[in-house]
Structures are given as structure tokens and as C-alpha cells.
A and B are shown apart, each in its own frame.
Chain A
């Protein structure tokens, strides 16, 4: 499960569970597909068949291996299991910046994470489908404070939307302000063109404190299980060949 139990490799590597949240069809899986395979599929079918995907993020001093959990559709009727949030160290809350209802839903998921997830969880709010706006090459990437100029620009774009084929409905300002209020990382991305996608994951990787990854194992309800398999844990997959044949009597 985790490849991180070894001591002192050249660069420390840890596994981090990342959960995806957001309304159906906002591009959750497409973002992950872009991050993991650098690929994009038009009209992708709803997610089927993958337990979770993994991808590494290489930082200067360490490597983070993301275990990315998809909702598998269980969010549709508010039926996500507590297991989904269990020990998630990071979450991507995605909305479609051309669809206001998806932004409302995103706020709902942020509240849900604050209620259910481990206290130290790193949450990134992501407005996807930047390619459907006119500023698709514009990078509004960092979680830094907004300049008044940038905010005005976003507002303007939202207003002028219809005329120049810009489908944006949620301005950069609106997304960013909400993110700042709640202490979330904030990005606008396009899974289709790839704009800012790597940036989201790198920012999350950077935001995860090293201490959290090391200490979490010993806490009863702390974050992060997958990081190191404690000695007492049993690996069911390591099945002795022919265990059923012989008898230990």
C-alpha cells in the first residue's frame, strides 16, 4: 500500500490521500486524468472502475505520492461514506466556473469537509473549465492575495460574458474571496488545456506539513493512515501460497 516505510531514502517520500469533491460533471476526473496521464478526453463517461489513482509530485526536498480518491458517484444523492473522508490529508473541491449551482455545491462540500475530515486537511478550491472563458491563457494561479486590478478584471469578464462567447459565471474575485475567507488554496484551471493543473497539485503538496505525515499514525483519530504501515498492521494481500491446503495443527 505505501512505499514509504523505509528509512532515509535520498529524498523522503510520503503518501498523501487526496479526495475529490464537487458536483457531477464539473471535471473532477478530467483534472485527475490531466494530472496523472497528462491527457484529456472529451465527453468522458462518469467514472467507473478505479479504486484510486496515484501520481507523484516532486518537490525540492521531498516527494509526495498522491492517492487520489474519486467519489465514484456516491456524492449524487448525498451518500458519501465517512470512510471517504477518513484520513484524507488533502481535498480538491471543484466547481465549473460556467455553472453557478456548482459553486453553491462547492461551498456545501467545504462545510462538509470542515465537519467530517481531519482538522489539518489541506483544501484547494478549484474553478475548472477555464477554456470556456476568454482568458484561458491567463494564469490566476497562486493562493496569494488578490490585487484590485485582477479582481476588477474578473468581474468585468463575468459581466461581459455573453457577448464575446465567454461562458464564465463565477468571477475570479468571487471564488478567491470565498477561498480566503475559509482558508483554502484557490485556483482556476482547465483540464482540457492543462492550464494550472500541475500547479494545484504542487501547491497542495507544498501545503502539507511534514510533521503531519510523520506523526499521524499514533493518534487515535489523527489524519493520514496510508503513510507508513505500522508493524502491527497485517497485510491481507500477502497470502501464503497454498494456505488453504496445509494445516497448521
Chain B
């Protein structure tokens, strides 16, 4: 096949968001990229699927039935497989703007961010206060506590990382967050919503970790600044679902010369002296009865998602997830068309928070009148996983359809890839946003290219910018 070059600078395997961002960035920087996916669609684990594909993926219907037919046109549905939202002031937003991928996408706000206090029918659900003034109006705290929280949030607002004078007499590089909370005399419930719904920690481990205070404060600032950007919530969301994100970055890569091949299986990764030297692969559409098109090409570097390297990754946890279709907004969310809803672990006797991400026809992910709510958490036991999600499911009211599979393993690479030049990404974790995904992008870029990734000005300066 003459259109496949004899050699590429990088071969990327899998078209998940992590891989597509890297592919886009590398192409803009002038690298020759071949990007391959075994599936017939973009996005891998970060795809959005239509309702027929969703039923078929979970198989929750009897043979011969076509349950998707009662949900309107199948292509009006774009259901995310990964329950995440973008922080409006976060790093993914920064990368989207710096690379101009925003041209291909339109975003809307998520209408609200909510946190639960207490459990069961008596639980309080309230908007997460995002600044000192909102704290004063919040039903989450009593009168005196509100003043203490206001003081704390004002201090966080004035914090400057490079100015120790703003540290309030604390050694933030060494002290724990508990010491900070104690300094302001905050109550346990306040710590709970600050740590879990503003700093977005999923467990309480951060409280006693030495030196984690600064990180926590930076996370609260990210939340508050994201909130301030558009007003309703700190989150934004792309129309037609998260699956648009990898497609947008893939287009960026293609525009800068990246070659794309879907429906392509990797037959062999060739090595020389322990390092990658090339690949052998077969491209074949599923409807195609022939043997497909076999080809090989040389490369010294491979970047890929964990599914392409089962022997080079380890399981670090399991994500539990239930995708639910509703015909009504979720109670206590002011009839919002979308929301992020956090149930902190301590409120329901768990170690890990339960998240609910809600989107609807306002985001062109389903027909009018429907809502898609994804309940997720990290698995704590080895059985009865549906019970672990129950406090979240309880918030949803009547559920039309529930899609829940076995626990989803979360993978991390065993090695950095420096030895064999195979650089493997991490699975999309249980956090509610993409900040850890962009950390992984930066980490992979550092490992593969041995320099820091600088995205600012990428499109203007092209190859010149970002080489330190």
C-alpha cells in the first residue's frame, strides 16, 4: 500500500482522548504520526455511543428484542462511556484553546454542582458554595461555621504559590491539610464538602498526607476559578458528548499530516535490541470477508492505551459505573438540564465518593425529554457491586433503563517505557474531570519526547515553540 510510509516517527495505538491529544500535539510539532485503532470508531474507552450500540454493549435484553426502538432515532443518542466533565479553567480547556480544536466543538455549561450531606431520605442536597459570599448563604453550615468557612475561602483566594507571605504562617510544602483546617477551626462536615466537592478528592487520604496542603489549596482555586468563568458550575461539556473530544484532536493531527487507520489490528510489534523497531498490522473492515490489507512499517516509538499491551500493565483498582436513562431531572437539582452530584464517602459509610454526572437533550446527547445520569465510584468490595452504587441510584428516582456491567479494571503501565520505547497511557480514572488525564498526557509526552509539553502558542509558533 503506497499510502503507508515506510517509517513513522511515532505509531499511536488506540484513539482514546489521551492518545488523540498526544497525536495532535506531535503532528503539529512536525512529527510523522501513524494513528491506529482496532475499532471501527474513534474514542476507544472515551467514545460516546448511540443507544443501539449501548444496549448491544451491555446485552441487557432478550434475543430478538430491539429495546432501543422505543427511544427514538438511535443516532440522536450519544452516551458517554466515561463519566467525566471538563473544568472550565482546567488544563484540557487550555489545551483545546491552545490547539484551536475549539473550532470543531461547541460547549455548554453544566447547570449546577451539588453535594449531599447526610444519607437516606433525610439527606440534604445543596449547591456547592464556590466563594466566600456563597458560603455565607449555604444551608450546608450553621451561622458561626459560615464565618469560619468564609475566612478560609478568603485566605485561599489570596494565596499565591510563589509568595510564602500569603501562606498564613504555615509551611504549606510540609504541613498536612488537617493543620490548615484546624487553623481555621472548620467542622468535619465543612471539611467534607471542601475536600470532596471543591478540591474533588475521592477519599480522605489527602487530609493527613504531609505536604498535600498546597495541592489541596490549588485544587480549591481551580474549582473556584472554573466556577467564576461562566457562572453556573465549574464544568463545561461538549455538545454531542465527550466522544467529540478525541475526534477533534484526531482531526488536528490529520490536518498536520497524521495518518489515520481504523479497523486495524496489530499483528506484531517488532523489536531490535529490546527496543521497538516497527509494527506489522492488518486493516480489515468488519463487513469485509477478505483477509484484509496486511502492511508493515518502521518506527522507533509507540504510544498506546493499556488495551494494546495487556502484559505491560497492572490493575490498580476497579471502577463501578451504572448508566441510567431518566425521563425527569434529578430531584433537588433545581430542575437542571445537567449537574454534577457528589455524595462524599463519609456521608454514606464508604471510603470512596459516589459521583453522579447528569446531562440531557440540552447537550444533544439524547432526544428531548430524556436525561442520562451516570453513577460511579471505586469498588471497595469484591461482590454486590450494585449495592455500592445504591446511594447514588437512590437519588435518581424512576429509572427507565439501567446499564451496568462488571467492575471496570483501571490499568497503569508497569514501566515508564524508556527501556523499550513503548509508552503506555493510564485508564480513565474515577475522578469527575479530565485533570488527571491531562497529567497523563504531560507525563507521556515527557517520557516519550524527553521534554516538557508546552501547549501555549502551539498553533502560532508550530515547531518553534515548546522546545524549552
Task: Give the docked Cα–Cα distance between A229 and B229 (Å).
Answer: 18
Question: A1 and B103: CB pair below 8 A?
Answer: yes
**B contact residues around A86 at 8 Å (CB):** 240
Interface with A: B89-97, B169-177, B319-327, which one? B89-97
User: Is residue A150 within 8 Å, beta carbon to beta carbon, of the partner chain?
Assistant: no
**B contact residues around A244 at 8 Å (CB):** 89, 225
User: Is residue B268 within 8 Å, beta carbon to beta carbon, of the partner chain?
Assistant: no
Question: B109 and A232: CB pair below 8 A?
Answer: yes
Contact of B228 among A70, A77, A233, A248 (CB under 8 A): A248
User: Is residue A8 within 8 Å, beta carbon to beta carbon, of the partner chain?
Assistant: no
Question: B240 and A48: CB pair below 8 A?
Answer: no
For residue A100, give the distance in angstroms from its CB to the closest CB of chain B. Answer: 19
- Return the chain A residue nearest B264 by Cβ: A77
Contact of A73 among B259, B263, B285 (CB under 8 A): B259
- Return the chain A residue nearest B1 by Cβ: A77
Contact of B106 among A48, A77, A233 (CB under 8 A): A233
Q: Given A74-B250, A233-B107, do A48 and B225 touch, yes or no (CB 8 Å)?
A: no
Task: Give the docked Cα–Cα distance between A194 and B327 (Å).
Answer: 54
Interface with B: A157-165, A166-174, A234-242, which one? A234-242
Interface string of B64-80 (1 = CB under 8 A from A): 00000000010110000
Task: Give the docked Cα–Cα distance between A154 and B39 (Å).
Answer: 44
In which size bucket is the chain B interface? 35 or more
User: Is residue B193 within 8 Å, beta carbon to beta carbon, of the partner chain?
Assistant: no
User: Is residue B455 within 8 Å, beta carbon to beta carbon, of the partner chain?
Assistant: no
Contact of B248 among A77, A83, A221 (CB under 8 A): A83
Q: Given A82-B247, A248-B130, A248-B224, do A74 and B260 touch, yes or no (CB 8 Å)?
A: yes
Question: A249 and B220: CB pair below 8 A?
Answer: yes
User: Is residue B153 within 8 Å, beta carbon to beta carbon, of the partner chain?
Assistant: yes
For residue B156, give the distance in angstroms from its CB to the closest CB of chain A. Answer: 5
Interface residues of A in 108-150 (CB under 8 A from B): none
Question: B230 and A247: CB pair below 8 A?
Answer: no
In which size bucket is the chain A interface? 35 or more
Chain A CB within 10 Å, residue with most, of B224, B225, B248: B225
Interface residues of A in 205-249 (CB under 8 A from B): 220-221, 225, 229, 232-234, 236-237, 239-240, 243-244, 246-249
**A contact residues around B244 at 8 Å (CB):** 83
User: Is residue A37 within 8 Å, beta carbon to beta carbon, of the partner chain?
Assistant: no
Chain A CB within 10 Å, residue with most, of B220, B244, B260, B366: B260
Question: A52 and B103: CB pair below 8 A?
Answer: yes
Interface of A is mostly: loop
Contact of B364 among A76, A77, A220, A234 (CB under 8 A): A220
For residue B302, give the distance in angstroms from its CB to the closest CB of chain A. Answer: 19
User: Is residue A43 within 8 Å, beta carbon to beta carbon, of the partner chain?
Assistant: no
Contact of A76 among B3, B106, B264, B368 (CB under 8 A): B3
Interface string of B39-69 (1 = CB under 8 A from A): 0011000000000000000000000000000
User: Is residue B257 within 8 Å, beta carbon to beta carbon, of the partner chain?
Assistant: yes
- Return the chain B residue nearest A1 by Cβ: B103
Question: B156 and A48: CB pair below 8 A?
Answer: no
For residue A7, give the distance in angstroms from its CB to the closest CB of chain B. Answer: 21
**B contact residues around A233 at 8 Å (CB):** 106-108
A interface vs B, CB < 8 Å? 1, 24, 47-52, 70, 72-74, 76-79, 81-84, 86, 220-221, 225, 229, 232-234, 236-237, 239-240, 243-244, 246-249
Please provide the 4 A-B residue pairs with the shortest distance between their CB atoms, ordered closest to farther: A249-B157, A248-B228, A72-B254, A81-B247
B interface vs A, CB < 8 Å? 3, 41-42, 73, 75-76, 88-89, 93, 96-97, 100, 102-104, 106-109, 130-132, 153-154, 156-159, 220-221, 224-225, 227-230, 236, 239-240, 244, 247-248, 250-251, 254-257, 259-264, 283, 285, 361-362, 364, 366-368
- Contacts A221-B367, A247-B156, A249-B154 known; list 16 others, CB within 8 Å: A1-B103, A47-B255, A51-B104, A73-B254, A73-B259, A76-B3, A78-B285, A83-B251, A86-B240, A220-B361, A232-B108, A233-B108, A234-B236, A236-B93, A247-B157, A247-B224
* 15 A–B contacts from the bound complex (CB under 8 Å): A73-B257, A74-B254, A74-B260, A77-B262, A81-B42, A81-B251, A83-B104, A84-B251, A220-B367, A220-B368, A232-B362, A236-B96, A243-B229, A247-B224, A248-B130
